[in-house]
């Protein structure tokens, strides 16, 4: 098996287990056809140029998504954008489909549509709307048929799935509150400038708030102070880097804005209950 690897040594495939260029408008196959030959285990990997949509019809399993494990069950659709590290352990015989859409096609389908761009921008896991669920089997058959207007029809079916997911997510989403909106901005700020994690006054100013307002909104939305929540965010990223890269622990700390490696390790242990090395051990065994 040949795979390209990025600087972080996370496998990056065209399709899982394959190194050839993507050959079509999109790809669609049954989960059992891809996972079965691999013992129903799809090891963590990423796709540099593909967005994937998984429809779990029947069966269950476990999904790993950017270092977090969560159950998978029938009746769900999982949307996995490009570069997102993901893997699965399925029950034998699981029924469902995976659709792989090149990033250029996804950009073309979602351009100028904020609701669809949002679906394509971050991982999503939703109960399968009937309008979306019914499209996967049709898409699978159309892809194999090579009939006239095949390309436009394949794109239309993917668009149908995306629209149904956007509608389902909007229906399930409560109207955003001011605290939740503040937290979204705070999270983006900490990701962009992790060194600001201890400068709550500076963070608040950049968000157009006072320090007391930021603290009040953060406690309302998360139950944590801004300082504690910032540390949780950074330790989540630290877990991903420890699990999926071979970077030195100190280098990970520097990347996340910690100038003292020993202090980074203490914070990691306080938040996770493990040292960075102990957390990483199962991933390198």
Sheet holding 68-73, edge to edge: 41-45, 86-90, 60-65, 68-73
**What are the average pLDDT values for consecutive 10-residue runs of the chain, which has 285 residues?**
40 53 78 93 86 95 86 94 88 95 89 88 89 96 92 96 90 62 86 84 91 90 86 87 88 92 93 91 78
Give just the sign of the alpha carbon dihedral 45, 50, 51, 54: negative
CA 17 from centroid of its chain's CA atoms: 20
Q: What pLDDT, on a 0 to 100 scale, did the predictor assign at position 6?
A: 39
Q: What pLDDT, on a 0 to 100 scale, did the predictor assign at position 271?
A: 87
Q: What pLDDT, on a 0 to 100 scale, did the predictor assign at position 21?
A: 47
Q: What pLDDT, on a 0 to 100 scale, did the predictor assign at position 176?
A: 52
CB 11 within 8 A of CB 17: no
Where does the chain have alpha helices with state H?
31-35, 103-110, 114-121, 130-145, 150-172, 178-192, 200-206, 211-222, 226-244, 249-255, 261-272, 276-284
Q: How far apart are CA 3 and CA 34, in angstroms?
A: 16
Query: Hey, how many other C-beta atoms are within 10 angstroms of the C-beta on 262?
Result: 10
**Neighbouring residues of 152: CB distance < 8 A, sequence distance ≥ 6:** none
Q: What pLDDT, on a 0 to 100 scale, did the predictor assign at position 10?
A: 57
Q: Is 0.75 topped by the overall pTM?
A: no
CB 37 within 8 A of CB 18: no
């Amino acid at each position: 098996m040949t795979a390209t690897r990025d600087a972080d040594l996370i496998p990056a495939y065209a399709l899982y287990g394959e190194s050839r260029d993507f050959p079509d408008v999109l790809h669609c196959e049954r989960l059992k056809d891809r996972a079965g030959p691999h013992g129903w285990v799809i090891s963590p990997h990423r796709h540099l140029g593909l967005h994937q949509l998984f429809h779990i019809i029947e069966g269950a399993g476990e999904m790993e998504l950017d270092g977090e494990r969560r159950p998978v069950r029938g009746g769900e659709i999982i949307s996995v954008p490009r570069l997102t590290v993901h893997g699965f352990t399925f029950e034998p015989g699981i029924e469902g489909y995976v659709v792989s859409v090149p990033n250029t096609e996804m950009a073309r389908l979602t351009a100028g549509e904020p609701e669809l761009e949002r679906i394509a921008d971050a991982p999503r896991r939703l109960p399968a709307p009937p309008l979306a669920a019914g499209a996967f089997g049709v898409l699978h058959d159309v892809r194999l048929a090579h009939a006239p207007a095949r390309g436009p029809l394949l794109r239309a079916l993917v668009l149908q799935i995306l629209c149904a997911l956007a509608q389902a997510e909007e229906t399930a989403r409560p109207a955003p509150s001011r605290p939740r909106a503040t937290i979204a901005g705070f999270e983006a700020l900490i990701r962009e400038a992790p060194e600001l994690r201890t400068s709550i006054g500076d963070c608040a100013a950049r968000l157009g708030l006072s320090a007391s307002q930021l603290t009040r909104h953060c406690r309302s939305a998360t139950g944590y102070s801004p300082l504690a929540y910032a540390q949780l965010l950074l330790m989540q990223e630290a877990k991903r880097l420890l699990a999926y890269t071979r970077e030195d622990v100190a280098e990970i700390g520097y990347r996340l804005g910690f100038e003292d490696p020993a202090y980074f390790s203490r914070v990691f242990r306080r938040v996770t209950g493990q040292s960075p090395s102990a957390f990483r051990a199962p991933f390198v065994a």
